[in-house]
Amino acid sequence: MELPIKVQGVIYAEENKKRNYLIIKRCENDGGFWQGITGTVEEGELLEDCLTREIKEELGIEKEDIAKISQILQTIQWRKQNGFVITEYVYAVKIDRGQEILLSDEHVEYKWCDFDEAYDTLGKENNKNTLKFVNINVKLRK
């Protein structure tokens, strides 16, 4: 049975005092919407281990190639259609913009965007809210 615990990673890069966000598009048969990194925690798995596993699975990026992972920035809860309550833990994840991206079969496209474009492109309200929260609360490196 799938655990009701998920992680979400808001992936970003900083260059020339500007931040860009990496968003990925799900396959059409799985909704066809744009999102950040998400995944379900497996039994016995730590939250951050789930996050780095999902980053590797969805983007092809190894843990040692991640520049920075924040502490848990936000905890959100939402109800699935079947009534189960899901708890999702949100992290900000910094990578190098030049990092090679190798998408999984779950996704068909990725793109780097400034905040406004990423916000307008994301398909789900909770992803938009999370992006906004991270954008406000993760300070740009000077």
Q: What's the whole-number mean pLDDT along residues 117-141?
A: 91
pLDDT digits (tens, 9 = 90+) for 13-28: 999 889 999 999 999 9
pLDDT of residue 41: 95
Average pLDDT, rounded, for the chain: 93
Strand, helix or coil for residue 3? coil
Best CA proximity match to 3, nearest among 36, 38, 44: 44
pLDDT digits (tens, 9 = 90+) for 79-117: 888 888 999 999 999 999 999 999 999 999 999 999 999
Q: Please report, in angstroms and rounded to a whole number, the separation of the first and last CA atoms in the chain.
A: 45
pLDDT of residue 142: 53
Distance CA 9, CA 29 (A): 22
Best CA proximity match to 70, nearest among 20, 124, 137: 137
In this predicted structure, the answer to whether residue 141 has a pLDDT above a threshold of 80 is no
pLDDT of residue 12: 97
Distance CA 105, CA 124 (A): 20
Distance CA 42, CA 47 (A): 9
Residue 60 and residue 15 in contact, taking contact as beta carbons nearer than 8 Å: no
Q: What's the whole-number mean pLDDT along residues 54-64?
A: 97
